[in-house]
Amino acid sequence: MKAAVFIEPGRMEVHEVPEPRIEKPDDAIVRVIKACVCGSDLWWFRGISQRQHGSLTGHEAIGIIDRIGEDVRTLKPGDLVIVPFTHGCGRCAACRAGFEANCTNAEPGGNAGYQAEAMRAPKADTALVKVPGDPKSYSDAVLNSLLTLADVMATGYHAAVSAEVKPGDTAVVFGDGAVGLSGVLSARMLGASRIIAMSRHEDRAAIARESGATDIVPERGNAAVNRVLELTGGSGADAVLECVGSAQSIETAVRVGRPGSTVGRVGVPHDAHIDVDALFWRNIGLKGGPASVATYDRDVLLPAVLSGMIDPGRMFTGAFDLDRVQDAYEAMSERRVVKSLINIGEI
Amino acid sequence: MKAAVFIEPGRMEVHEVPEPRIEKPDDAIVRVIKACVCGSDLWWFRGISQRQHGSLTGHEAIGIIDRIGEDVRTLKPGDLVIVPFTHGCGRCAACRAGFEANCTNAEPGGNAGYQAEAMRAPKADTALVKVPGDPKSYSDAVLNSLLTLADVMATGYHAAVSAEVKPGDTAVVFGDGAVGLSGVLSARMLGASRIIAMSRHEDRAAIARESGATDIVPERGNAAVNRVLELTGGSGADAVLECVGSAQSIETAVRVGRPGSTVGRVGVPHDAHIDVDALFWRNIGLKGGPASVATYDRDVLLPAVLSGMIDPGRMFTGAFDLDRVQDAYEAMSERRVVKSLINIGEI
């Protein structure tokens, strides 16, 4: 079968690799329909972080169950599933608390190989999210939205939940990539009446507005802090979503909230220096981390997509076949698209 | 009138000072019945932090309204009031969000002069907490418990709220001083079914047990982390209350929670170094700061004291007249008492 392979920074290829097989009784083999490129993939594609050359890539997919291990109870061949980047066992303390990204029984290295014609999904019953109904009944647009539930939409939702967005709140969202736009949608879902999106790219700001942003702030650093304070009558925001992870973004994010607000952060952190004593005196909270994908999907996001309440699939502004995976990465790295969709199989 | 005065580290005196007077129309003058010494006072009493020599001291009191300014609407002479260390205006964004410790209209230097026969209380309507009923009807024990609502009990409650303690949780409380013991009481109020108190002093551990602690852990540092993990089957606690503020305490506190837990911190921070990237990967939250005293008192704590649900006054294990203020500070500094009560006036 064909799979995307990381050759070296800036270079992806599609290689013929062995078909995956059931290795454990709770595994499933998923025939991938759609995968995509994540903003976090760009760190190694650009050579900023390390990744093993020759490794399989991708950690977001939807697909059809092809085969199941003998212990799998809730899925059967032919089922449409979301394949999250998380692999919760459902039994450990982290999973029971709804934080399956921190499952203590997760296999190391499980988050790879989704950009391929087929993949092995461990802990299928608990880790995969079954989409009800006839898989053939869904439009391509709905399938694209379901694909975002593998990571990016759930990650944006984790930012909003961690930031404790409440009805009537003014929320600020740092990041106008796919996670930031998901954060805007999520802040709206949780009832924010005003959503300030930090964006300096017209195409992304447009999607942010369509997703619920009421104000767009292009400034950064001190100027961004001053602008948010100005927009909130000097008070600061009720909730802050940090969806970038860069030092500048997080260091700015902790300065724009009112006393008692919380920064919900989902941007993978890169050397941020935060004065936690200063947070104390201002009663600013800091929460977040890797998202609870399957938990949010089942509880909130899958119903929200299927009912049409949200349509996060619109963030895929570029679509590519698997053979063009290099283009998919390049287009996203060069900001020509917000997020790259990779169409792989047919339902 | 008499008032406690800070002379130099290790030395308190009682001096004759001018009576306070109404300076602003929303002021009240309170005749102090009881005051006390706070753990945070020990930082300057021990010479670790700076304080102006000759300054008045104390930021916790209960008393009787003596006079009111012309704008005061909800209080009248003769009312029994709790005098919190906070002075919320009730109108700014911080106050409206219930974080009056961060009121943007608070007078600088307002937290002093409570250890005196009388004191000026600014923003009386919003900042003071009126105790209903006939002031003479309350026992001395109830009055002592009401005194804790000026700071320490509300601060412990802020730790529990910030740590997001929920029914059935296992909570860990760092600190066996008055705030830590208030944290134990508060964790129980919020429904924790297991409360691990970090304590190495037998007298304090005994009060912790009476307040709801189910386990006492005397270890510190790595040994403390290992012990909490052992007690929680390797999982870590659901909620962590940090009521010390020392670098070691906060650095240990962020290590004992399960993924998705939050450290609620109220200990005044002293040079803690926290690896916030590590918190991200474990989904550990960090919240807290100065407590919302009047808000918690009105919503929860005053009814809880008056109904007998909690009796935080038991943490006063030493009582002193105002003339013996030096002994009150010394006894607490030398850990001969958990918290020193200062009896000043009669109702």
Helix (H) or strand (E) holding B33: strand B28-36
| Strands in A54-106 per DSSP E | 61-68, 80-83
The predicted structure's pLDDT at residue A274? 87
CB-CB neighbors (< 8 A) of B258 in chain A:
93-94, 97, 99
Stretch A63-86: mean pLDDT: 98
Contacts of B88 (CB under 8 A, 6+ apart): B94, B95, B100, B101, B103, B106, B123, B126, B127, B294, B295
Type of residue numbered A328: A
Angle at B153 between CA B149 and CA B159, to 5 degrees: 135
Stretch B304-313: mean pLDDT: 97
CB-CB neighbors (< 8 A) of A279 in chain B:
286, 289
Which of B311, B347, B301, B265 lies closest to B149 in space, CA to CA? B301
pLDDT at A272 over 90: no
Lowest mean pLDDT among A309-313, B40-44, B105-109: B105-109
pLDDT at B109 over 80: no
Asked whether the beta carbons of residue B277 and residue A269 sit closer than 8 angstroms, the reply is: yes
The predicted structure's pLDDT at residue B62? 98
Chain B contact for A92, CB < 8 A?
Answer: yes
Q: What is the DSSP string of A180-243?
A: HHHHHHHHHHTT-SEEEEE---HHHHHHHHHHT-SEEE---HHHHHHHHHHHTTTS-EEEEEE-
The predicted structure's pLDDT at residue A275? 87
Which residue, among B277, B292, B296, would best test binding to A if mutated, counting the most A CBs under 10 Å from its CB? B277
CATH architecture of B155-288: 3-Layer(aba) Sandwich (3.40)
pLDDT at A17 over 80: yes
Q: Which of B102, B234, B262 is nearest residue A259 as measured by Cβ atoms? A: B102
Chain B contact for A16, CB < 8 A?
Answer: no
The predicted structure's pLDDT at residue B269? 87
Residue B108 — pLDDT band, cuts 50, 70, 90?
confident
d(CA A319, CA A325): 10
Chain B contact for A204, CB < 8 A?
Answer: no
Stretch A170-180: mean pLDDT: 97
- Whether the CA torsion A190, A193, A198, A203 is positive or negative: it is positive
pLDDT at A271 over 90: no
Cβ contact B65:B83 at 8 Å: no
Q: Where are the domains of chain B?
A: 2-151+292-343, 155-288
pLDDT at A327 over 80: yes
The predicted structure's pLDDT at residue B143? 98
Contacts of B109 (CB under 8 A, 6+ apart): none
Query: Cα A140 vs. chain centroid, distance in angstroms?
Result: 19
The predicted structure's pLDDT at residue A107? 84
Q: Look up residue A24 and give its two tokens.
A: 């454990």
Backbone dihedral angles phi then psi of residue B201, each to the nearest 5 degrees: -120, 120
pLDDT at A174 over 90: yes
- Whether the CA torsion B255, B257, B260, B265 is positive or negative: it is negative
Chain B contact for A98, CB < 8 A?
Answer: yes
Residue A319 — pLDDT band, cuts 50, 70, 90?
very high
Cβ contact B260:A99 at 8 Å: yes
pLDDT at B256 over 80: yes
Backbone dihedral angles phi then psi of residue B316, each to the nearest 5 degrees: -80, 95
Which of B46, B42, B2 lies closest to B337 in space, CA to CA? B42
Residue B107 — pLDDT band, cuts 50, 70, 90?
confident
Which of B169, B162, B276 lies closest to B232 in space, CA to CA? B169
Stretch B155-166: mean pLDDT: 98
The predicted structure's pLDDT at residue B272? 77
The neighbour count for residue B211, using CB atoms within 10 Å, is 25
Stretch B76-81: mean pLDDT: 98
The predicted structure's pLDDT at residue A241? 98
Q: How close B101 gets to chain A, by Cα (Å)?
A: 9
- Bridge partners of B246, per DSSP, are B270
Helix (H) or strand (E) holding A170: strand A170-174
Strand order in the sheet with B194-198: A215-217, A194-198, A170-174, A237-242, A257-265, A285-288, B285-288, B257-265, B237-242, B170-174, B194-198, B215-217
Query: Cα B221 vs. chain centroid, distance in angstroms?
Result: 25
Contacts of B289 (CB under 8 A, 6+ apart): A259, A279, A280, A281, A282, A283, A284, B101, B102, B158, B265, B266
Stretch B256-273: mean pLDDT: 92
Q: How close B324 gets to chain A, by Cα (Å)?
A: 33
- As to burial, measured by CB atoms within 10 angstroms (0-12 exposed, 13-18 middle, 19+ buried), residue A325 is buried
Residue A216 — pLDDT band, cuts 50, 70, 90?
very high
The predicted structure's pLDDT at residue B275? 87
pLDDT at B321 over 90: yes
The predicted structure's pLDDT at residue B274? 87
The predicted structure's pLDDT at residue A24? 96
pLDDT at A110 over 90: no
Stretch A140-144: mean pLDDT: 98
Stretch B199-210: mean pLDDT: 94
Asked whether the beta carbons of residue A93 and residue B236 sit closer than 8 angstroms, the reply is: yes
Q: Which of A258, A261, A272 is nearest residue B276 as measured by Cβ atoms? A: A272
d(CA B113, CA B340): 16
State the DSSP code for A166. -
Q: Look up residue A238 and give its two tokens.
A: 């009720």
d(CA B117, CA A31): 79
The predicted structure's pLDDT at residue B111? 77
The predicted structure's pLDDT at residue B155? 98
Q: Which of A175-189, B102-116, B271-285 tops mean pLDDT?
A: A175-189
pLDDT over 70, % of chain B: 100
pLDDT at B110 over 80: no
Asked whether the beta carbons of residue B280 and residue A265 sit closer than 8 angstroms, the reply is: yes
For B156, the 3-state DSSP assignment is helix
Average pLDDT over all residues of chain B? 96
Which of B48, B39, B50, B36 lies closest to B6 in space, CA to CA? B50
Chain B contact for A343, CB < 8 A?
Answer: no
Asked whether the beta carbons of residue B93 and residue A233 sit closer than 8 angstroms, the reply is: yes
* CATH number assigned to the domain covering B2-151+292-343: 3.90.180.10
Cβ contact B220:B201 at 8 Å: no
d(CA A258, CA B243): 23
Q: Look up residue B79 and give its two tokens.
A: 């009312």
Cβ contact A272:A302 at 8 Å: no
CA distances (Å), origin A15, targets A2, A311, B5: 6, 33, 80
ipTM for this model: 0.94
The predicted structure's pLDDT at residue B270? 81
The predicted structure's pLDDT at residue A304? 98
Which of A17, A100, A287, A183 lies closest to B263 in space, CA to CA? A287
The predicted structure's pLDDT at residue A111? 78
* CATH number assigned to the domain covering A153-288: 3.40.50.720
Which of B103, B220, B241 lies closest to B162 in space, CA to CA? B241
